[in-house]
Chains A and B, each alone.
Chain A
Amino acid sequence: AQKVTQAQTEISVVEKEDVTLDCVYETRDTTYYLFWYKQPPSGELVFLIRRNSFDEQNEISGRYSWNFQKSTSSFNFTITASQVVDSAVYFCALSEAYRDNYGQNFVFGPGTRLSVLP
Chain B
Amino acid sequence: GAGVSQSPRYKVTKRGQDVALRCDPISGHVSLYWYRQALGQGPEFLTYFNYEAQQDKSGLPNDRFSAERPEGSISTLTIQRTEQRDSAMYRCASSYRRTAHNEQFFGPGTRLTVL
Contacts and interface: CB of A to CB of B under 8 A. Distances in A.
In the complex, which range does the number of interface residues on chain A fall in? 20 to 34
A102 B99 contact: yes
B18 interface: no
A102 B42 contact: no
B101 A50 contact: yes
Q: Secondary structure at chain A's binding surface: helix, strand, loop or mixed?
A: strand
Given A33-B101, A91-B42, A110-B41, A104 B108 contact: no
Interface stretch (A13-21, A40-48, A64-72, A73-81): A40-48
Contacts of B35: 108
Contacts, number: 63
List the 6 shortest-distance A-B pairs measured between CB atoms, nearest first. A108-B42, A45-B106, A95-B100, A106-B100, A33-B101, A47-B103
Contact of A103 (B56, B93, B101, B104): B56
Interface in B58-115: 58, 89, 91, 93, 98-106, 108-109
Contacts of A108: 35, 42-45
Interface in A93-118: 93, 95, 97, 101-111
B107 to A, nearest CB: 8
A47 B105 contact: yes
Contacts of B45: 105-108
A52 interface: yes
B105 A102 contact: no
